[in-house]
Every structure is written in C-alpha cells, then in structure tokens.
Chain A
Amino acid sequence: MISTLLRRLGPSLLGSVVAFSLTAPSKAAEELRIGYVAPTTGIFAQVGKDMVDGFQLYLDDVKSDFGGAKVKFIVEDEQAKPDTAVTRAKKLILQDKVHMLVGGLLASSGYALAPVSTADKTVYVVPVSAADDLTQRDLPKYPYMVRTGWSSSQPSHPFGQWACEQGYKKIAAIGADYAFGYEVVGGFQRAFEACGGQIVQKIWPPLGTKDFGPYIPTIRQDADAIFTLMVGPMSLQFPKQLAASGNKKPVIGGGTSYDEFVLPSMGDEVIGHVSALQYSAALENPKNEAFVKKYRAKYGKVPSYYSETNYTTAQMIHEVIKNNKGNFPGQEAFVKQLAALKLDTLRGPVTIDEMRNPVQNIYIKKVEKRKMFGYDKEELWNTVIKTYPNVNQFGQFNKDEFLKTPVYNRDYPPCKYCN
C-alpha cells in the first residue's frame, strides 16, 4: 500500500525538483530579456496580436540588437484577465528572470501589473494600458513604472475643446463600463463642460457587450451629437447597430472606437465619425508612411495604434540601452533614463513628463474613404483634421487642481445636466 503510493509520488516529486532546477535560465552577459504580457487568446486576441507584432517589427528592423545587447522577447498570454496577467508576470519575473516587464492591455491589467513591478522591483514599461491614475494619483506606489503610451483622458481634453468649437451644445455619451471608459468619457466631459458644453447622458454598456439593443433606444433625442467609447469587438458592432437604428446625429468618439485595428472591418456607416488619439495610421509624415508600408507588407494589414505604440516603445527602450552601450543599467537607472528621453517617433515628437507619462501630439481625425500611401484601393482611413501639439496628461487644466479632484469614474464628473 505504502509502496504503491510512494512509487507514484516519489519519482514525480524527485523529477519535478530536478526539472525545476534545470529550467532556471543562466544569465547571459549581454542578453536583454524582455517579458511581454498581452492577450493572445480570448476576446481581445486580435488586439494582443497587434501589440506583439508592433514590438516584433521593431525588433526585426534592428535584428534584435539593442546597441550590442541581444534581445530575448518572451511573450505570455494574459487573456485580458488581471488575475492571469499577474500570474504570467510573476512567471516572467521569477522563472524567466526578465530585465523588464512590458505590456498589459486593459486598464485593469495595468492596475494589476503595476503593484507586481513594485513588489518584485522590476521595471514595468506601459505601452498600452492607459489607466489615468497609474501616472497620476497612484504614481508614488509604482517607482519602477514608466508609461510610453498615453493616459486615457489625455486625448479627451483637447477633444472636448474641439467639440465646443464645432458648436455642439449637448452631447450624449455611451461608453464601455469600466475604468478606461470612465476616464475617456470623463476627460471629454470635463473639457467640454469647461467651454460651455453639456453632457446630458452617460450610458455604460458592460465591457464586451455585443448586443446594444438595450442601450441604443435610450439615447436622448435632444442631444446634438453622440460620444462613444468602444473597445475591441464593441467598436465593430456599435456603429453598425447604431446606423441600423436610424441614427442621424453626428458621432464622435474616443480613439479606440475607430482605431485602425477595427477600421478595415467597418463599413460605410462610420464615414464622417471623428475621434482623437495620439496616432493615426494616416499621419502624413515619411516615418509613418514607411512604417505603414512595412507593417502592411509583413502582416497584411494597416497598423493600429496598438502596433504603433509598441513599435515606438521598443524604439525608446533601444535608445536607453544604446546610451548604456548595450548594457542594462539596473532597474532604477533604467527608469530614470527612460523617463528623461526625448525622441522623434512615428507619432511625432515625444517626451516624458515628470510623472512618467508621455507628452505628445493629439490628432483629431475623421474617417474618410480614400486612397493613401500609394495603395490602389479606396479604403477607410482616419484623416487628421487638426493637431494639438505638446499635450500632457492634464491638458489645459492645472495639474495640482486636477489631482485634487477624484479620478474619473462612473460618477465623476457628476452628470449635472443628465435630467
């Protein structure tokens, strides 16, 4: 009886111990191990693929050589679940002994990974996760974190101003019911109401909603325009269903609502829709044109902002390592140097502010059907119609006053004109 059990348990226990000690990687002298966390399966798989592809394209461009260091790019699947993201990050840090953690898609992933970076004293570079507070009220908790992408409300601040300039007085907002949604809509609301506009309604369909049947009929008829914040597959379904319901109002939205990852699958129903973001694939500068062509040649599709931000992030990491002659300068030094970077990138000039978030151009873009960059077919592109330069995460608002108010959430800013 004992012998049977021991016979079963013994060898496997022994075997595991041996296996574990063998799988601990040895530290190569000039190997830079970058651990990447993205949703490669699940509902956001396509987005995750763009993230990885963007980063990989840069690695291919420089043949994985960062100023002398050989880059080892390890990708783990977070399935867009914060729980899984944390487990994978731990695996990358504890098992693969990566020098830095990069990635995370949703705001929830960012909020989950940042504490891991602090607990395990590992650099965490954030190219996508736009949760405002990561680089605002919560910044002191994350000394190893630097954001190279954007903050959710960053584009919304100048966008609200633009909306006033268009003459809109009342806007109904509908956004995905989670932190990112609250922040994009909230930023827009603050800016729009600061120049005389009114947000008259805020509707929050749950993240991942595909059937907007319950929500579309409730949109207020007296609004001048509709502001939408959609992510992932929601971006695809919402405009279709909105158009099918007979909507005639102008539609504007957060950058992810019309980003290039979903734009090619959209139909004519989105022509004329306007959004704001720090990137558009239709940016007419030589760097971007080359990037779009290269990306399209390799992956068969137009790059989305997810691809661009990771390409640019890889470029920024490369800069820092290059400045250190191919050596990793240690966690704290890397953070300091990355945060002090000034770079001319695809999306325009980028610097990092003192709260470790990028300062960059914000582009107001409109969906148009046209031919671009020498492609012979007419396609949907986000044409840039206005540029707001040097926008930081607080926009036109005073930083200290901004930080005194609560983070944008479901009830902040309060919907004063909602009834």
Chain B
Amino acid sequence: MNTQFWLIQAFNGISYGALLFLVGSGLSLIFGVMRIVNLAHGSYFLLGGYVALSVIWTTGSWVLAIPVAALAIGVIGLLMERIFLRPLGFDPLRQVLLTVGFAFLFQQAALDIWTGNNFDINPPDALTKSIVVGGVYLPLYRVFMICTALVIGVILWLVMEKTRMGAAVRATVDDAQMARGVGIDTSRISMLIFSLGAFLAALGGVIGGAFLGIYPGLDFEMLPIAFAVVIIGGMGSLGGAAIGALLVGLADNFGKALFPEMSYFTLYAPMALILAVKPTGLFGRE
C-alpha cells in the first residue's frame, strides 16, 4: 500500500462523496426545514436519471438532460409537498409513510415507463478520458463530479448566507415558530425547500447515472446511504451535509478496500453511535 494507493483511494472516496453531497444536501435541507423524513428521496434520485435518459434519447444532448431532469423532478417534489404533505401537518410518522407510499408508486411507474432494463448514461466522449497527475490516473468524469458538487455547494452556500431568502430558510430551520412570528411565510419556504431537495437529488441521479447506472432498485439502495450522510453530517446543515458526504464517501471507499467483510457495518455503526450521542447529527441544528 504505497502513497499512490492512498491517493487514488482518497480521490475515489472524495468523488463518491461529491455524488453523495448532491443527494444528501437536499435531504438534509428537507429534514432541517420541515422535519420530514423523506423516504421518497431515493426515488427522486432514480427518476432524475430516468428522465435524463429520455431526454438523451429524444434530443441526443447530455448537457440538456441535466437541467431538464433536475427541474422536472423538482416540480414533482413541489406538487407532492403542496398536495399531499401539506395537509398532514406536522406528523412525522404519517409523513414518513406517505413518502414511502409514493416511493412504491414511483417505482412501479418507472418500471412501466422505462422497463426493467439496466441503463447507463453516457457522458460526452471528452469526459470518459483520464488525466495523469504525477503518475496517477484520474478519470475525468470523477473530476467532473467533484467540480459539480463544489459549484452546487458554493451556490447553495451563497444563497443561504447572502440572500434574504436564505436567511428566511435558516430562520425556519432554527425555529419555525419564531420565524412565523417575524412574518416569514414558512409554508412557502417548506414548499421551496422540498422542491429544491428533489431537484438536487435528481441532479445527483443524472450525474450518478454514468457512474452507477440506472436500474430498478437503485432508489432503495441510495436511500440509506443518503440518510447516513444526513445523520452523520447533521440535519439541516449544508456544511454538515458536505462533511457528512465526504466522510461517508471516504469511509465507504476505504471500508470496502481495507475491510471488505465489514464494509457496510463501518458505515452504519458510526451513524448509530453519532445519533445516540447527538440525535441531530454532528453539525445538526436544534
């Protein structure tokens, strides 16, 4: 195990973490703002990938697929929040179960629309090459994943920290009642955040589609990992989601390389321990 090994593994872990950031940040915001455990989040991820495929099949453009898929799923998220989640009010159990019911519906619909085959999203040729840095081969697509996550992360941070809307969101996360008292329309914020969460998940799905493939079952495979990110990083915290994603990506990678028999355990055991000590996660706000 030389330095090259550690470097490559770290790079791979970081790139996987980049993907997880996209999935986890949305989930973290949804949880932070609305206290909803969104078990349909994996479905948003998968549907994003499927819609992207359809766009690519009809227009041949991968570049176009990314925003279209993300926006489409963002709209679905918006509708789901307005029509189904809003009437439930604050009832964590029922919200959880509602999102699961939808997850099943989405799963079946995806099967009917896109069939049960495995698909691959093929990025443009330019991204399939590798660059060589100091003798180490770095696949360009992974670099792309890291860059995308960074860009999205920065945009989100800027919005949250520097805009009025962002301040409203942060206020709602910290104390929804007070926020309402100050005149912030928390229900509109909720709707926006849920939609944003779905948007980000779908973005993850499109980008991950070249990397993981798109197939039935991916939705429920991604779900626990997304939760691991949120829980470890902290619910409602973007910075926490970034750190959580990084940690999970690295732990997953190194765990599989070094301790294959325990690889999932090394992921979920810390998650459980963190929750036991700090129920809101490492950087969670409560």
- A residues neighboring B (CB under 8 Å): 40-43, 45-46, 48-49, 177, 204-206, 210-211, 213-218, 232-233, 236-237, 240-241, 244-246, 265
Contact = CB atoms under 8 A, between A and B. Distances in A.
Nearest to B129: A244
Interface stretch (B36-44, B110-118, B184-192): B110-118
B107 to A, nearest CB: 9
A42 B129 CA distance: 30
Contacts of A246: 130, 132, 137
- Can you list the 7 inter-chain pairs with the closest CB atoms, starting with the nearest? A213-B12, A45-B116, A246-B137, A214-B257, A41-B116, A217-B8, A214-B256
Contact of A43 (B129, B139, B216): B216
B211 A211 contact: yes
A40 B111 CA distance: 11
Contacts of A241: 139
B215 A45 contact: yes
B16 interface: yes
Interface in B153-189: none
Interface in B113-161: 115-118, 120, 128-130, 132, 137, 139, 142
B257 A218 contact: yes
B212 A177 contact: no
A237 B215 CA distance: 14
A217 B139 contact: no
Interface of B: 1, 4-5, 8-9, 12-13, 15-16, 111, 115-118, 120, 128-130, 132, 137, 139, 142, 211-213, 215-217, 252-254, 256-257, 260, 263
Given A43-B216, A236-B120, A245-B137, A211 B16 contact: yes
B108 to A, nearest CB: 10
B212 A211 contact: yes
B130 A43 contact: no
B137 A265 contact: no
A215 B257 contact: yes
Contacts of B252: 214
A43 B111 CA distance: 12
A210 B218 CA distance: 11
A244 B211 CA distance: 13
A202 B128 CA distance: 28
A265 B121 CA distance: 12
B interface majority secondary structure: helix
Contacts of B257: 214-215, 217-218
A214 B254 contact: yes
A216 B256 CA distance: 12
B111 A41 contact: yes
Contacts of A45: 115-118, 215-216
B11 to A, nearest CB: 8
Contact of A233 (B116, B118, B263): B118
Given A45-B215, A214-B252, 13 more contacts: A42-B116, A43-B118, A45-B116, A49-B116, A204-B260, A205-B256, A210-B212, A210-B213, A214-B257, A217-B5, A233-B120, A244-B130, A244-B139
Contacts of B116: 40-42, 45-46, 48-49
A363 B134 CA distance: 42
A268 to B, nearest CB: 11
B137 A46 contact: no
Nearest to A216: B8
A206 to B, nearest CB: 8
B212 A49 contact: no
A32 B109 CA distance: 34
A217 B120 contact: no
Contact of A237 (B5, B142, B213): B213
B190 to A, nearest CB: 34
B137 A244 contact: yes
A164 B116 CA distance: 41
Contacts of A215: 256-257
A406 B254 CA distance: 32
Given A210-B213, A214-B257, A245 B120 contact: no
Given A215-B256, A244-B137, A43 B4 contact: no
Contacts of A206: 256, 260, 263
A68 B5 CA distance: 64
A185 to B, nearest CB: 15
Contacts of B4: 217
Nearest to B115: A45
19 contacts: A40-B116, A41-B216, A42-B116, A42-B215, A42-B216, A43-B215, A45-B117, A45-B216, A210-B211, A213-B9, A217-B8, A218-B5, A233-B118, A233-B215, A245-B8, A245-B130, A245-B137, A246-B132, A246-B137
A211 B117 CA distance: 19
A138 to B, nearest CB: 25
Contacts of B16: 211, 213
Contacts of B139: 241, 244-245
A4 B41 CA distance: 39
A49 B118 CA distance: 11
Nearest to A213: B12
Contacts of B128: 240, 244
Contacts of B118: 43, 45-46, 232-233, 236
Nearest to B221: A208
A121 to B, nearest CB: 32
B14 to A, nearest CB: 10
B162 to A, nearest CB: 35
Contacts of A216: 8
Contacts of A214: 9, 12, 252-254, 256-257
Contacts of B263: 206
Contacts of B8: 213, 216-217, 245
A177 B256 CA distance: 12
B134 to A, nearest CB: 12
A245 B115 CA distance: 32
Nearest to A203: B260
A215 B111 CA distance: 32
Contacts of B9: 213-214, 217
A238 to B, nearest CB: 12
A48 B118 CA distance: 11
B15 A213 contact: yes
